[in-house]
A and B are shown apart, each in its own frame.
Chain A
Amino acid sequence: MAGVEETEQVKGATREDTQAADREPETLYGISGSPGIVVGRAVVLRPRSDDLVRYRLEKEAIQAEQERFQEAVDQAEQELKDLRSKFEGDLSDTLTIMDSHIRMLRDRMILDQTANLIEQKQINAEWALSRALYLVKKKFDHIADEYIRDRFADVEYVVNLLQEQLSEHGQQFPTGFAEPVIVVSEDFTPADTVRMQSEKVLGFLTEKGGTTSHTAIVARSLGLPAVVGVENITERCRTGDMIILDGYDGRVCLSPTMDQQKLYQEYDRQHRAFSEELSWYIHLASETLDGLRVRLSANIEIPNEIEGVTYYGADGIGLFRSEFGYFQQKHLPDEETLFSVYQDLVIALDPQPVTIRTLDVGGDKLAIQLPGNKFKALHERNPALGLRSIRLSLREKTLFVTQLRALLRASAFGRLRILLPLISLLSELKQVQEIIGQVMMDLTDEGVPFDPDIEIGIMVEVPSAVTMADVLAAEVDFFSIGTNDLIQYSLAIDRGNEYVAKMYDPLHPAVLRMISRTVEAGHAQGIEVALCGEMAGDVFMAPVLLGLGLDELSMRPSAIPHVKRLLRHSTSRRLTDLAKQILKCGDGMETRALLDCYLASNAGEWRERS
């Protein structure tokens, strides 16, 4: 099995080193995931397939790589020993075979050979190990005796165990690159992207995903450019290729000419100059020319983004995605850990509100990776329509209560708002209210302080919640429209599916009508309606959202000055008129045409920025 591939891989590796130079320049188009332009070498990772991850190391990283390899050997050995202990008292033959496996693991042809290759060739452990195995294979290939030659399968078995250990514990995301690189992969999970927060990463390029994929969201929050949804990029682009990543326009140039590189660097300079102008808006109020105020708040995922929140002048946090706290360690976070994160946020922003969404995992957000693999057994055919988000919280009550206790306790220190995701039924909401009531009683009994008037709101992100918004509005303190999911659920488009991602259209009139309906239902009950999807931070789309009467737009922090500038150049009357007209549109094309006209006559230079 792996034997033949091994040969391929080793050949592939040598070809790779010489290939970059003689390739024709080629431009590929994807979707803009995060703005910015970078020029650099690509490292292609294929964490989702069985292909080997190969990369070169810088000198300083060799020691760490050796340690990583030794650790994997220790773990693989432990695994084999554990296995052996289960056969203890069994056939002595089997035990001897297992002993021979343990011995192979530490055999000099594997261990020393791999270590030498890491050292001398400056390559990662996985790559070195596969080359070591290849050398063993060459020796075994010469064996005439079939029975002994077939023992190579035992060697392979042991090496595969070792490879598994390396990929499990050895962060598939290398940190020891010799120069900063553009990481290319089919897709990244949120946890992956966070692990890669390193000065050695210039940007991200993926095969899957759209504007709202996690790679895109995280890349934006890290301020790194990303292009997503480029078909077959992991095939077309090779490790070591020089590429230009244009996160503004969702373009990738493979093997660019020097002229192209210069041109793109100039684009980048212009974009940066423009952002500088925007910084003037940071300290101004977010209001229209006629004084209509709209809160512009921040969406964040990791607590240390708080710097950006204050830097860009956000009016509080409109959405704190609490999931990250759950993926940082191997075990689930305890109440104290969560509490201290929430407390810090609330104190840092007081008196501005901090809206924290309860655990929203499942669907595309990896319930499967919840520590302890508790939900791994759940093979859902349609995870997006399955046990996710509030449904998971209601099923795993201990998990939910722990988070609610932490939230309520933190509410004593400032203005904290609880946001419940994926509510699709009134009874679901009632169930949550009951649990919150119980937690409040417990806290009171324990004498632990919390804000008894804490605001509780729901995400409106399922079409049924839109339809029932009038009923739901009577039960909560605020609405927050989650357009990312609402668009997916109402247009039946999986934003992570590259074949249909282009049909994911926030400007589809159906979406805009649903937003309008939700705003009206909320206002009729006297509650505020926010919108926290990605579209809130898109200056091209923002006018229609402002015109629909939303009280708050929550977006990535760096988009706030852009939207504020637009808001400060608008009048409420014009925005409302625009929205009225747009609600009559038949499709997204018409919506776009109207927005184009509006922007051309009201905020001229915005058009080109969209």
Chain B
Amino acid sequence: MKTVSWESTVTNPNGVHCRVAERLIKVIDEYEATVQIIDRGPPIDCTSILELLSLALVQGSRVRFTAQGLDAEQVVAAVEQVLSEPEPSEPEPHQNSPAQIQVQPEALKE
């Protein structure tokens, strides 16, 4: 079983918030590998969005990753890519606030 360990810096402007965390989990899921992340506390699996969020990885945070499995090497680049992605088409961070999401469904119901 391959194990790869590396350090990374979050360059994403708003840090690891919902959308980035979601992308991260989804991307990792495409590979044959489990990825753990170590910030200050014990390592956590990159499968729980809430645990990822609660790490509060803001822009500039440095964290250590460990990948294990067949695709351990390939997953590194994918993770790096997500962590450095610019905010796509988002003028203001609050555009995606849940308030907005909650209002829309109501409007869609007849």
Contact = CB atoms under 8 A, between A and B. Distances in A.
Interface of A: 83, 86-87, 91-94, 96-101, 103-104, 107-110, 136, 139-140, 142-145, 147-151, 153-157
A150 B96 CA distance: 11
A82 to B, nearest CB: 9
B77 interface: no
A154 B21 CA distance: 13
A93 B22 contact: no
Contact of B48 (A92, A107, A157): A107
Q: Is the interface of B mostly helix, strand, loop or mixed?
A: helix
Contact of A104 (B50, B57, B95, B101): B50
B32 interface: no
Interface in B68-110: 88-90, 93, 95-99, 101-102, 104-105, 108
B28 interface: no
B18 interface: yes
B54 A140 contact: yes
Given A96-B19, A98-B101, A143 B50 contact: no
Contacts of B57: 148
B49 interface: yes
A150 B19 contact: no
Nearest to B100: A94
Given A99-B26, A157-B98, A151 B53 contact: yes
A143 B17 CA distance: 12
Contact of A83 (B19, B56, B105): B105
B14 interface: yes
A148 B56 CA distance: 6
Nearest to A98: B101
B58 interface: yes
Contacts of A139: 50, 54
Given A93-B19, A97-B96, A143-B56, 19 more contacts: A93-B88, A93-B89, A96-B18, A97-B22, A97-B101, A98-B101, A99-B22, A100-B21, A100-B22, A100-B49, A103-B25, A107-B50, A139-B50, A139-B54, A142-B54, A148-B14, A151-B18, A151-B53, A155-B50
Interface residues of B, number: 35
Interface string B52-64: 0110111000000
Contacts of A108: 47-48, 50-51
Contacts of B90: 93
Rank and list the top 4 A-B pairs by shortest CB-CB distance, nearest first.
A100-B22, A143-B56, A139-B54, A109-B50
A94 B96 contact: yes
A67 B64 CA distance: 39
Contacts of A151: 17-18, 53
Contacts of A156: 98
B102 to A, nearest CB: 6
B22 A145 contact: no
B97 A100 contact: no
Contacts of A100: 18-19, 21-22, 49
25 contacts: A83-B105, A86-B108, A87-B104, A93-B95, A93-B96, A96-B19, A97-B22, A97-B101, A100-B18, A100-B19, A100-B49, A103-B22, A107-B50, A107-B51, A108-B48, A108-B51, A109-B50, A145-B15, A145-B56, A148-B56, A148-B58, A151-B53, A154-B98, A157-B101, A157-B102
B89 A107 contact: no
Contact of B18 (A86, A142, A145, A154): A154
Nearest to A141: B54
B88 A144 contact: no
A83 B48 CA distance: 22
A472 B56 CA distance: 77
B67 interface: no
Contacts of A142: 54, 56
A153 B98 contact: yes
A94 B88 CA distance: 11
Given A93-B96, A99-B26, A147 B19 contact: no
B16 interface: yes
Given A83-B108, A91-B89, A148 B96 contact: no
A109 B88 CA distance: 28
Nearest to B53: A151
A147 B49 contact: no
A117 B95 CA distance: 35
Given A147-B17, A148-B16, A107 B22 contact: no
A96 B101 contact: no
A436 B14 CA distance: 71
A162 to B, nearest CB: 14
Nearest to A149: B56
B49 A104 contact: yes
Interface string B1-26: 00000000000001111110111011
A96 B98 contact: no
Contacts of B105: 83, 86
Most buried by B among A97, A144, A149: A97
A545 to B, nearest CB: 51
A131 to B, nearest CB: 15
Nearest to A150: B97
Contacts of A98: 101
Nearest to B102: A157
Contact of A97 (B14, B18, B54): B18
B49 A144 contact: no
A518 B21 CA distance: 75
A532 to B, nearest CB: 42
Contacts of B50: 104, 107-110, 136, 139, 155
Contacts of A97: 18-19, 22, 96, 98, 101
A147 B53 CA distance: 11
